[in-house]
Structure 1
């Protein structure tokens, strides 16, 4: 192999040990880095070329190991791990912090009127639909009808939850009303993600052996993957939607915000952004991206197929999505 790089770097895996939470966290701090959004198309293509060339056994002279890993993370931030397609900009994980801080900040600021609740829940679920589709597991296509059903169901669920809780909290302390957006977002995640990935629940997602050989598709693996993503997404939203309301509730009683009420929204968005910078990668790291399951927990027909193809395999692996 030409170049200065060792030939044993496995670019299919993250740079850091994914069996530990610390290793997964370091990995996702790189993946969710908002600065990746500013990279040009030429930079993304150069990163893809470096990664694909290395996998094919050739490297440009002078490329260092750090440069290769940087290229791998640039590549991962913009291209789907299963299909290899370039992902839509706002659906990438690197867009999570700037997009969510704006949307969540506005949901927490403009929660008092019904039109505002309707509008910002619609905006949030539209964004979530894009993210869920962009970061789905596997390489199977999803139809326009399935996309529409998932989108309408999640948006309806979020709005109904938000309006229902809003009416219930009218006579409770104002601080309680500030948590209505979080309850609506949590409910919507439980609806949106399974519906957006319903094809995986029906047909399964690719399962692999430890060497990366595809052994088939499993619905049981899809259920585990989607459940883990739902938990991660709710956890991701929790600090950003729970901490700022408490701080803002205290600040609104002080003279500063009474004198400058227009500062409410910028402050709220900034607080949400600060929470999301840490919550996004840390909650993505709750479960390994390359999730695993014992063969004995797969569907009987899938177990039989795996035993036939790879009799010694006891654990299969799959991309859980994000």
Structure 2
């Protein structure tokens, strides 16, 4: 792991880069294409960044800030700047600039998600195990949802509690209902799909409730230069809907493909002799899926989501009027942008 030394006597770089200078406020890859977004999220959600110390992370943040001002130390290389940008974007919230809890970062989705999902897939036979692991999963999801929310719409403690309890209840009720129904009317393989049904149902409850203020009050919209011009409830619904789809897609391959694989493997005598290794095997296989699916799910939709001004004009005239007042000389852009969250 690379490190950055903080230097109180840091001097501006003697190299005056012009066209070769990086814009740290923009991704390194084109975000208008799926491949460009995938490369960006594979880079920024790299789980290896989770082991970076707090000192390293703040040093990376300071280097990025100095670089923006052209005050980085002489001899700072392009590679160091890119790595500092990677650490900063993996660990600090894009809206507030605050250091995120390591367990809630998207870069922790692979190690955290593989452990919880692997356990849910392995321990599905008893109602007690199903309920316990759904509770663990929703606790983890609540932390991830809060950490990656749009921070311009604050959430109260009461709202957080309501979202957590509602999502956990939705997951448990769905899991118990599916388990009871499928055990009586379907083949044993269907019981292995109980965790996915519960996770999908919980995501549909957890994320909107966690971000309910965005739906109630609207989400801030900016022009292409980042100037905040108005708010929109429709934009909030659009962004949250895309996040729900992304989260379900993220876990779907591992939770849908692994059950029939394990169902088949467990029929072999050699697998029956190593039952203690079934859970670790599922955890590792889920990890393989998530390594690819985390950037894939994040890349489905642009992080900087857009909404047509004509939509505001038609469905939110009051916010459209605010937009007209805030636009200099009446130059209203065709599209406005917002951070949809992850």
| Alignment TM-score, normalising by the size of structure 2 | 0.91
Which residue of structure 2 lines up, in the alignment, with residue 16 of structure 1?
Answer: 29
Which residue of structure 1 lines up, in the alignment, with residue 57 of structure 2?
Answer: 44
Which residue of structure 2 lines up, in the alignment, with residue 177 of structure 1?
Answer: 191
- Mapped pair 1:139 → 2:139: no
* 1:309 maps to which of 301, 326, 342: 326
Whether the 8 Å contact between 2:29 and 2:40 is mirrored in structure 1 is yes
The Cα shift of 1:61 comes to 1.3
The Cα shift of 1:213 comes to 1.0
Q: Deviations along 1:169-189, whole A, 9 cap, x unmatched?
A: 113111111111101100100
* 2:112 maps to which of 72, 94, 99: 99
CA distance in 2, matches of 1:155, 1:72: 36
CA distance in 1, matches of 2:173, 2:99: 35
Q: Residues 21 and 304 (structure 1 numbering): CA distance in 2 closer, same or farther, change over 3 Å?
A: same
The Cα shift of 1:209 comes to 0.4
Whether the 8 Å contact between 1:5 and 1:65 is mirrored in structure 2 is no
Which residue of structure 2 lines up, in the alignment, with residue 34 of structure 1?
Answer: 47
* 1:202 maps to which of 212, 216, 238: 216
Q: Deviations along 1:221-278, whole A, 9 cap, x unmatched?
A: 1111100000000000101101111211110001111111111101111111110000
CA distance in 1, matches of 2:265, 2:173: 30
SS in 2 for 1:45: helix
Whether the 8 Å contact between 1:4 and 1:63 is mirrored in structure 2 is no
* 2:124 maps to which of 105, 108, 111: 111
SS in 1 for 2:337: strand
Which residue of structure 1 lines up, in the alignment, with residue 234 of structure 2?
Answer: 220
Whether the 8 Å contact between 2:13 and 2:76 is mirrored in structure 1 is no
Whether the 8 Å contact between 2:13 and 2:75 is mirrored in structure 1 is no
SS in 2 for 1:318: strand
CA distance in 2, matches of 1:167, 1:30: 42
Q: Deviations along 1:142-172, whole A, 9 cap, x unmatched?
A: 1110000000000000000000000011131
Which residue of structure 2 lines up, in the alignment, with residue 89 of structure 1?
Answer: 102
Alignment coverage as a number of residue pairs: 322
| Alignment TM-score, normalising by the size of structure 1 | 0.97
- Mapped pair 1:2 → 2:18: no
CA distance in 1, matches of 2:47, 2:16: 28
SS in 1 for 2:32: coil
Whether the 8 Å contact between 1:138 and 1:205 is mirrored in structure 2 is no
Q: Residues 287 and 25 (structure 1 numbering): CA distance in 2 closer, same or farther, change over 3 Å?
A: same
Root-mean-square deviation over aligned CA pairs: 1.3
CA distance in 2, matches of 1:98, 1:197: 25
- 5+ residue gaps, structure 1: none
